[in-house]
Amino acid sequence: MRLEDFLERSSTARDIDELYRLLEKALADLCGYDRVIFSLMSDHPSLGLDAGHGVMRNYPDAWMKHYVEHGYEHLDPVRRFGFRKVGPFIWDSLPLVMDLAPAQVRCMNECQEAGFHNGAAICLRGVANELGGIGVASSAERKADGEKTARYKLGMLNMIAQQFYAAFCQLHERQHRAPMEIILTPQELTVLEHMARAKTDDMIAFDMNLTRHAVDFHVRKILRKMRAPNRMSAVLRAIASGVLSVEPAAFIRRPGH
């Protein structure tokens, strides 16, 4: 599966199960991860959903049972770090940025012994500070990726996860409200196009002959209209809904570039 295919098909998924199957395939094909878990790390009142660990997953049942019985949901350093981390991260980096308690070290070791390798995760921020999270791993142990390849995979994971979360929320929103109608002014659309090219506010201001304050004003309006928690989510929603047409691969740097 290509990234472009995932963006298109996830935005038109008929139900949550179909959306999750697309997530599994995209992560396997594009990142090499065959184990995936999606959690609601906080209540989602905007969707009428309560917090829940492993809302959707293909993790082995034996591990999930062991995880719950040992209370790892409340100790797991991946989950704890995810609450305060912006962007994706690899599990192996946690001992470098956290003081792990013995129980947390045991959790990480037992996870690896259960066949979870090269793990990574990302916390997803929605409206009104709602939090979701995706954890991924490989069932087969492999040589550690080089720095460029690792950055590429994390960038790809970020895009796939953000799009999945946006599509997941949109599917549930349909049950509670009318479908979202996106109407942007010509200037807002131009700002959005610049955002899709990863330009900073200063760069956008220079290109459009605007003040930085004006650019910030337009960005905030775009996020509100797109019901997006951040710029990447707004761009991905715009691409998926046909509001914006850009090459998705422009968001990330491929190995060697």
Q: What pLDDT does 146 receive?
A: 82
Query: pLDDT (tens digit, 0 to 9) for every residue of the chain, 257 residues total?
Result: 999 999 999 989 989 999 999 999 999 999 999 999 999 999 988 788 889 988 999 999 999 999 999 999 889 999 999 988 878 999 999 999 999 999 999 999 999 999 999 999 999 988 778 999 999 999 988 887 788 888 899 999 999 999 999 999 888 877 655 555 678 999 999 999 999 888 899 999 999 999 999 999 999 999 888 878 788 888 887 887 778 876 544 454 445 44
Q: What pLDDT does 142 receive?
A: 81
Q: What pLDDT does 33 receive?
A: 95
**Residues 145 and 224 grouped into a single domain:** no
Is residue 256 included in any domain, yes or no?
Answer: no
**Residues 124 and 240 grouped into a single domain:** no
Is residue 78 included in any domain, yes or no?
Answer: yes
Q: Which domain holds residue 200?
A: 186-251
Whether the pTM exceeds 0.85: the reply is: no
Is residue 39 included in any domain, yes or no?
Answer: yes
Q: What pLDDT does 240 receive?
A: 74
CATH number of the domain residue 167 falls in:
3.30.450.80
Q: What pLDDT does 6 receive?
A: 94
Angle between the N-to-C axes of helices 231-241 and 147-173, in degrees from 0 to 180, rounded to the nearest 10: 60
CATH number of the domain residue 216 falls in:
1.10.10.10
By the 10 Å C-beta count (0-12 exposed, 13-18 middle, 19+ buried), 85 is classed as: middle
Is residue 131 included in any domain, yes or no?
Answer: yes
Radius of gyration over every alpha carbon of the chain, rounded to an integer in angstroms = 19
Cβ pair 158, 88 in contact under 8 A: yes
Give buried/exposed letters for 152-164 (b at 16+ CB in 10 A, else e). Answer: bbbbbbbbbbbbb
Which H or E element spans position 84? Answer: none
